[in-house]
Amino acid sequence: MRLQQYDKAVSSYEGLLASLKPDQQFYYLSGFNDMMAQVVKESTEAQRYRDAMNWVNRWLDVSPKNQQALLYAVNLSHQMQDKGQMLTFAKRANEAFPDESIFKVRLASAMQLNGAPTKDIWALMGEEVIRNPYHNEVVNAYVQASHDHAAQLLSEKAENEALLVADKGLQYKPANKELKYLKGLAYEKLKQYDSAFYYQSFYEPSLLELDEFKANLKYLNYKMYQNEFAISHMRSRYGDYYSIQTISALEYMRMCAKNNYTARVFYSGREEGKGVQGQLEWGRNWSSHWASRVDFSVSNKYFSKFAVHGAIIRTFPKDWELELGVGHRKLYNDEKLSSAVVGVGKDFNQFRLQAKFTQAGLQEKWVYNVAAQARYSFDNPKNYVLALANMGSTPDVDILDYQRLNTLSVMNSMVGAGVGRLLTKNVSASVMGTWYNFQTSPNPEQYRNLYNLFLQVNVAF
């Protein structure tokens, strides 16, 4: 009954205003606006949003630039989850009242819901927060826009830009923990682990996230150490031969801001004597997108007499990675092997998939190997399981360094699996097993198996 009375009253006002000249309507608009505000308010409080929106549309037909009507139109569109209509009304309100902060806030919200670029929303609220730095809704909207844009930049591998955006948001809310956590993620990507640990520690995880959060802080603490010592041991035997051969290695790594330096010594004692290989490696992060790695090794027996490798790594948005590498080695039997490697990697949150293609030349023969690896990290990259496989006319070139397989120009295949674990704040360990199957005779076809077990312990200090 009450709605019917409102409808009659509104219709009467509409008829009256339509019969008047524009300069005469002014005297009646005040009463019309008051009545429309009342009926829209009652409908909204009763959660009759569709009815309320119909009233608002009639209101705007008569008074198209009424501030209260436009605000109702935006808010009701949001309540009705009509994102497109909300954006339309928010733009209209902002054009009609460009100095009203509340319409800037609503426009930013509508743009976000409609998938507008985070950069545009951040720029919009950046201008408004400078003009009105003490308006709570403006400050909150700017901080949220800073968070969203910084997160987008992180996904695009633009860590330094993400830090700048987060810092601007923190100027207005210095205690905002979400922005601090984002800074921690950016610093982790930049391998500045001390800063990453500091800023990520502000995060307040839920009970479901607590164990994973603690484990990640433990990993960041591990990565804060600049020195790392590793000892590894590999045990190998053929499937048809019970004698076990071993290779042990010691490794020292020095990790600096941009450069990593590694020295390794491999040792193998066999029936024919002892073999020792020394290796030096230099890795450098040139920027957040480019990195390189070079290593050189020499030996007296069993290993490659000398080997040199180089690689460049380029990261792309959406967690893609491309690696291009070349290498040359002189095997212990004086054969020379030159190789080129193309690798592609992709991160899917905690999963990492990687594929590599190796093309090698040996004494005027071309051989190849195709390899794939899948890795799942649990709560941090040191806690993982992995599976790997490869096949081709040569085994993976790394195993050639150990002179365990010299089966070239015949079919080789390998499967393997491993697991790693961060044991304490500065000690980690890993175990991996591989099974090689390779052809020993083409006619008749004969195959042989080789089994390897790798054990490694790392200590950071």
Yes or no: say if 94 and 60 are a contact pair by the CB < 8 Å rule. Answer: no
Q: What is the pLDDT of the chain when averaged over all its residues?
A: 88
For the segment 100-144, what is each residue's pLDDT rounded down to a tens digit? 999 999 999 999 999 999 999 999 999 999 999 999 999 999 999
Yes or no: say if 234 and 430 are a contact pair by the CB < 8 Å rule. Answer: no
What is the reported pLDDT for 6?
65
What is the reported pLDDT for 23?
63
Interval 438-447 mean pLDDT: 74
Phi, psi of 28 (to 5 degrees): -105, -15
Residues constituting the chain = 461
Which pTM was predicted?
Answer: 0.76
Q: Output 31-39 pairs: Cβ under 8 A, ≥24 positions apart.
A: 32/62, 32/63, 33/59, 33/63, 33/66, 33/68, 33/69, 35/6, 35/9, 35/10, 36/10, 36/69, 37/68, 39/6, 39/10
Tell which wins on pLDDT, 447 or 321.
Answer: 321
Q: Which residues of 371-409 are buried (b: 16+ CB within 10 A; e: fewer)?
A: bebebebbbbbbbbebebbbbbbbbbbebbbbbbbebbe
What is the reported pLDDT for 1?
40
Categorise residue 413: left if φ over 0, alpha if ψ from -120 to 50, beta otherwise: beta
Write out 127-157 in H/E/C secondary structure: HHHHHCCCCHHHHHHHHHHHHHHHHHHHHCC
Q: Which has the closest alpha carbon to 347: 310, 384, 311, 312?
A: 384
The CA-CA-CA angle for residues 229, 231, 232, to 5°, reads 140
Interval 359-377 mean pLDDT: 88
Tell which wins on pLDDT, 200 or 2.
Answer: 200
Quick one: what percent of the chain has pLDDT higher than 90? 61
Interval 17-22 mean pLDDT: 63
What is the reported pLDDT for 451?
92
What is the reported pLDDT for 318?
80
- Cis omega (within 30 of 0) for bond into 442: no
What is the reported pLDDT for 310?
96
Interval 330-343 mean pLDDT: 86
The CA-CA-CA angle for residues 322, 328, 330, to 5°, reads 150
Per-residue pLDDT band for 24 (boundaries 50, 70, 90) equals low
Yes or no: say if 205 and 433 are a contact pair by the CB < 8 Å rule. Answer: no
Strand stretches in 349-444, DSSP E: 351-362, 365-377, 384-392, 412-422, 427-442
Task: Name the 3-class secondary structure at 58.
Answer: helix
Structure token digits, residue 383: 């806690």
Q: How far apart are CA 241 and CA 440, in angstroms?
A: 15
> Count of CB atoms within 10 A of residue 252's CB?
13
CA-based max dimension of the chain: 112
For the segment 277-335, what is each residue's pLDDT rounded down to a tens digit? 999 999 999 987 899 999 999 998 888 889 999 999 998 888 899 999 999 988 877 78
Query: Is the pLDDT assigned to residue 84 strictly greater than 60?
Result: yes
